[in-house]
Amino acid sequence: MRYRWQKQLLIPAGLMLVYLCLQLLNWIPGIDTVDAYQTAQQLLKTFCFTLFIFLLSQYCQQPQAIRWLLIAIIISGCLQAFYGTLLNLLQLDTSPIFGYHDGDRAKGSFVYQNHFANYLALCLSIAFGWLLSELKTTKKEFDLREMLIDLLSTLFSRKLILRLAIVIMVIGLILSRSRMGNAGFFTALGLVSLLSMFIYRRPPTLFKPLVISIFILDLLIVGSIFGVDKLKQRLDDTSFSSETRDEVVFDSIPIIKQHLFTGTGGGSFYTVFPQYQPQFYSGFYDHAHNEYVQFLVEYGVVMTSVLGFWVLYAFWLACRTMYLRNNKLYKGVAFGCAMAIVHMLLHISVDFNLQSPSNTLLFLTILTLCWLVRYLPSDTQKKVR
């Protein structure tokens, strides 16, 4: 490893590997698992995730490599959105490739529409951050003529491709009918945009119009064409009496209390929860539909706190990048990463998005980008240690 920050990035993942090994081997009294097979699977996946983070931090140490990574993320989001939107509008009985029944909600290549929505929201955050980095920075007093020229240059440049990609992914997000997927994305956009007003020393000229256009053009105008009213109806119809996810959370509390510090073992929620479930629900729950609860059940409060601090520290690095660095690309990517982290922290309170390997890999990519844009020098010939 070339840089000291790479070791800092990998420490939490390494601790997770060690802890899973201890749960599996049962060398320390109290640290064990109720389902050795599932914990072994979690150990294997965690090892692959750790290796992925290491390789990403090792081979994306130049601005051009980061741009190629951003391109890959945005293209994957656009392909998912296009595929999901096309199937939803065609109203096919089953998808032509995977043979799934989508119903009235877009799912792309995902089985679960909320995983699809979460994936698109993360890709959208990165796309918005990159688009923000392409905008010109304010250098003088407000000039309407200069602002109009900047707006026209944006419309007839490569920025237009990024803007169209955002529109495509917003359409897919709306058609997923995911309540927290949509609410989380637009909440994250609003919160991080408001926060950046205080962090950015010189905000881009068209920053505010760009944010407003996302809400007005994408959510209201484009959304009305592609059925945002159905999403609104789902939100209006939501009630605790019709939902059983909150009951799963409440019924998981005794497990957390009994295994507060050490947990029941990685991947063991599916095994241990039926033993504490007081009644049958209308649906089958192999996950808690709340990642905070599931991580506390499986890993205990200590390991969950370590991982939580890791994510919050990544958010802090993104904010520091927006404040300290002068590189426009790095500042824009940091904005997108901060937005993606806020969205994920909101969405996982009602779903299990980190149990999907594709979503987990994308989120780990975003966390790694927080370290890359904070510590990599703009001049690649220099080294920051």
- CB-facing half-sphere around the CA of 209: CA atoms within 13 A: 12
Residue 137 β-bridge partners: 204
Given a cut of 60, whether residue 226 has pLDDT beyond it is no
Q: d(Cα 70, Cα 57) in Å, to the nearest integer?
A: 14
pLDDT for 266-311, tens place per residue?
999 989 988 887 776 656 677 888 999 999 999 999 999 999 999 9
Q: What is the mean pLDDT of residues 160-182?
A: 89
List the end-to-end C-alpha distance of the chain, in Å, as a whole number: 11
3-state class (DSSP) for residue 107: coil
Could you give the 3-state DSSP secondary structure of residue 378?
Answer: coil
The CA distances from residue 315 to 33, 186, 213, 322, in Å, are 32, 18, 25, 11
H-type alpha helices, 26-91: 36-59, 63-90
- Tell me the pLDDT tens digit for each residue of 8-39: 999 999 999 999 999 999 899 889 999 999 99
Spatial neighbors of 135 by CB under 8 A, at least 6 apart, are 150, 154, 159, 204, 205, 206, 207, 210
Coil/strand/helix, residue 328: helix
Tell me the whole-structure pTM to 2 decimals.
Answer: 0.89
In the predicted model, what is the mean pLDDT of residues 181-193?
A: 91
At residue 51's C-alpha, the angle toward residues 372 and 44, to 5°, is 140
Kindly report, residue by residue over 49-59, the tens digit of the pLDDT.
999 999 999 99
Give the residue with greater pLDDT, 366 vs 108: 366
pLDDT per residue over 307-332, tens digit each?
999 999 999 999 999 999 989 999 99
